Amino acid sequence: MNGNGAIPFLDLVTPHRELRQELTEVFQWALDTAGFVGGPMVEQFETAFARFCGTKYCVGVGSGTDALRFALMATGVKAGDIVITVPNTFTATAEAISQAGAEPRFVDIDARTYNLDPAKVREYLENSCTVDDRFGVVTDAKTGKPVTAIVPVHLYGQMADMDALLDIAEQHKLSVVEDACQAHGARYFSRKGNRWRTAGSMGKAAAFSFYPGKNLGACGEAGAVTTDDTELAGKVRLLRDHGQARKYHHDLEGYNGRLDAILLSRNEAVICPYEPFWSHAVYHLYVIRTADPDGMIQHLKAADIGTGIHYPVPLHMQKSYSSLNYSPDDFPVASRVAVEIVSLPMFPQLTSEQQARVADEVLRFVQNALISQ
């Protein structure tokens, strides 16, 4: 690999070139049998993925958004409910909540992990809701709507603090549906269960996406719901057959990759991803924070290095959710993080030389910025 060549933010062509032979055989099989939707290939994948996650069931669906919507509906979320989630996520998280008929209620994030902050969930439930202790019904005081579920997003490949969230959910009889669309294979050490758990196995159900750019990418759109609950899995199977177009799935090659953080983590002008002791992240994205993300992105671009921002506008500031009437400073952590983040190149074929070059350029930028101050 040429040490001075362009480093794309994500390279989807090389992995598929490497898998060309295998994928061609699968396509051929699908053509020969006209087995384009469902069938034994999907069933094999469902069995394998359930085992990978450590759940009893996996139900393949058309996309991650479908997976989240079906999982919410199957857990009993209804029209008029309120579902708690974070403002710093891909918009599909909130769309799936709305499409299930519910209203997203954003709660701010932890400043280090960028995931849903359990203390702030508790604060919302205790200060902004009324609780009927006899029936365990939680009602949002402002809207009068029942709060029925929590959707923690395992952002960038790191799981949210599930022990704490599950405790709160149990206390208030809320369903927890994990948005694991960025976290295939991420692990969390449950202090409660005294063992490592895999993303998708802790909530009542979980949603995965196999969109090509995710850690486990399909050759098209794909998603899945995982759960231990027989009835819930059955409901999702029904839901997916009711008009939900789903493309065919096949045995997929997953990937995850780590970027050596040591070079970067010594520099105070750059905040690197924080991994608590209870977490094994799979780095769907490698996101750093800097005071001048635009300058950093321009500098990296000039050095032929691709970047991204995930996500530049928090959901409470999106036009599509203006009807929820949030103001910009309702979620100060999510808002601050959104204007400081830069996603660096991250994909399995990224070589150590390329990683070192990215780190060098990041450091060169912050050093130049310090000098010119």
Ligand X SMILES: *Cc1c(COP(=O)(O)O)cnc(C)c1O
Q: Which residues bind ligand X (CB under 6 A)?
A: 63-65, 89-90, 92-93, 153, 179, 181-182, 209, 211, 223
- The answer to whether residues 136 and 68 touch, using CB atoms and an 8 Å cutoff, is no
At how many degrees (to 10) do helices 64-75 and 230-241 cross? 130
- Nearer CB in complex with ligand X: 146/185: 185
Task: Report residue 23 as tokens.
Answer: 């994928």
3-state secondary structure 275-315: CCCCEECCCCCEEEECCCHHHHHHHHHHCCECCECCCCCCH
> What span, in angstroms and rounded, lies between the C-alpha atoms of 112 and 285?
15
- Nearer CB in complex with ligand X: 68/366: 68
Mind giving me the DSSP string for 195-208? EEEETTSSSSEEEE
Closest Cα partner for 219 from 189, 173, 181, 252?
252
Q: What does the buried/exposed string (b/e) look like for 73-84 if buried means 16 or more CB atoms within 10 Å of the residue's CB? A: bbbebeeebbbb
Q: How far is the CB of 321 from ligand X (least distance, A)?
A: 15
Burial class (CB in 10 A: 0-12, 13-18, 19+), 26: middle
Q: How far is the CB of 252 from ligand X (least distance, A)?
A: 13
Task: Report residue 353 as tokens.
Answer: 């030389």
Q: How far is the CB of 133 from ligand X (least distance, A)?
A: 34
- Nearer CB in complex with ligand X: 90/286: 90
Q: How far is the CB of 209 from ligand X (least distance, A)?
A: 3
- Nearer CB in complex with ligand X: 67/358: 67
Task: Report residue 354 as tokens.
Answer: 């390329």
Q: Tell how strand 223-227 and strand 279-280 pair up.
A: unpaired
Q: What is the CA radius of gyration of the chain?
A: 21
Q: How far is the CB of 284 from ligand X (least distance, A)?
A: 8
- Nearer CB in complex with ligand X: 57/210: 210
Residue closest to ligand X, measured at CB = 64
At how many degrees (to 10) do helices 20-33 and 40-53 cross? 130
Q: How far is the CB of 129 from ligand X (least distance, A)?
A: 25
- Nearer CB in complex with ligand X: 214/289: 214
Closest Cα partner for 61 from 214, 250, 239?
239
Q: How far is the CB of 181 from ligand X (least distance, A)?
A: 3
- Nearer CB in complex with ligand X: 148/158: 158
Task: Report residue 362 as tokens.
Answer: 């990041």
Q: How far is the CB of 95 from ligand X (least distance, A)?
A: 8
- Nearer CB in complex with ligand X: 208/365: 208
- The answer to whether residues 153 and 86 touch, using CB atoms and an 8 Å cutoff, is yes
